[in-house]
Amino acid sequence: MMQIHEIEAIKSILATPKKITIVPHRNPDGDAMGSTLGLYHILKQLEHDVLVIAPNEFPDFLAWLPESEKVLIFERSFDTCKAILEKSDLIFTLDFNALHRTGDQMENVLKTLTAKSVMIDHHQAPDGYATYTFSDTAYGSTCQMVYDFIHQLGLENLINKTVATCLYTGIVTDSGSFRFPKTTSATHKCVADLIEKGINNSEIHNLLFDNSSYNRLLLLGKALQNLKMLPEYKTTYITLTQDELNEFGHQKGDTEGIVNYGLSIKGIDFTAIFIEHKEEGIIKISFRSQGDFDVNQFARKHFNGGGHINAAGGKSFSSLDETIQQFIAILAEEKK
Ligand code: 5GP
Ligand code: MN
């Protein structure tokens, strides 16, 4: 929960109409888009001038979210977005806890702002940039935190079907459809309430997960063919080269979730996917674990990343082959 004096301060800011900008992390996922749009639909009902500015494009499988078409893309409309950020009275940063998670360009603008800011986030090791911080790694999603934040502000009457649809999206995506360990009775109570607001939970699930292109399934097939086992480390990993992505007409979001297949093998408790991004000159990596192995620490220490204990990401500036060699060498080292 946010501290009472912080809630009171935020309430008094929101007491009169304000210019408010809400920001998710770069490469926003279901929780980032669901939480920013959920809060957006609350604040709009209070007559604030509200905008969501995402650092870069969001994937197509989220493009049905209510008013996602109004989300501005910083890296596409740099000057407009910079001007809006500079004129904002209040900035919300949702589902991330370090400004570099918005990318170099947007970080440079956010760093210069003097407006008050609110961070709501559930990742490990928050930076201290925000005026008001609601950071709690016990939550499975930022959407569930926004739900509690709305209650703390006494605005729960504003949670309508639209808001509930957005918040449900982040809860279902970040919890792996309610199966990850941070899914609690509080999560299910929250979802029960969202369903009572009239959301069509089954349809949302279909929109999120049963909306793939044919090519996406073929890409998944390719990824599974590339799956490698390292039984001595209870580890699996998947690679996808840029050529393989191109072969299947890769669209943003197509690789989302593929990493999880690596954990579905009996006896495996650590997995990674390495995806080549030729244009950016990086290998983007996702890590997943089951149990105590802390992939947030692993990603931070070895691959310029971070995240949660059982789900984290990072990047490498070496080639794909070199990155895999490094990965295996680190496993051998850590096992000792
Ligand atoms: P994914 O593997 O699904 O991209 O991300 C898993 C989790 O790790 C997400 O919560 C995401 O925000 C976080 N994450 C992914 N990539 C990075 C990264 O490069 N740096 C940090 N700090 N966190 C990341
Ligand atoms: Mn999240």
Write the pLDDT tens digit of every residue in 298-329: 999 999 999 999 999 999 999 999 999 999 99
Coil, helix or strand at residue 5: helix
pLDDT of residue 336: 79
pLDDT tens-digit readout, 180-231? 999 999 999 999 999 999 999 999 999 999 999 999 999 999 999 999 999 9
Q: Where does the chain show beta strands of DSSP type E?
A: 19-23, 49-54, 72-73, 90-94, 116-121, 132-135, 228-230, 235-240, 270-277, 282-289, 306-307, 311-316
Numbered ranges of CATH 3.90.1640.10 in the chain: 4-209
312 in contact with ligand 1, CB cutoff 6 A: yes
- Position 211 scores a pLDDT of 92
| pLDDT, mean of residues 94-106 | 98
170 ligand 1 Cβ < 6 A? no
| Entry pTM | 0.96
Identify residues whose C-beta is under 5 A from ligand 2, the ion. 31, 95, 142, 174
CATH 3.10.310.30 segments of the chain: 214-335
Name, in order, each residue with C-beta under 8 angstroms of 285's C-beta and a sequence gap of 6 or more: 272, 273, 274, 275, 299, 303, 305, 313, 314, 315, 316, 323
CATH code of domain 214-335: 3.10.310.30
* Residue 313 Cα to ligand 1 middle (Å): 4
Domain 4-209 has CATH 3.90.1640.10: yes
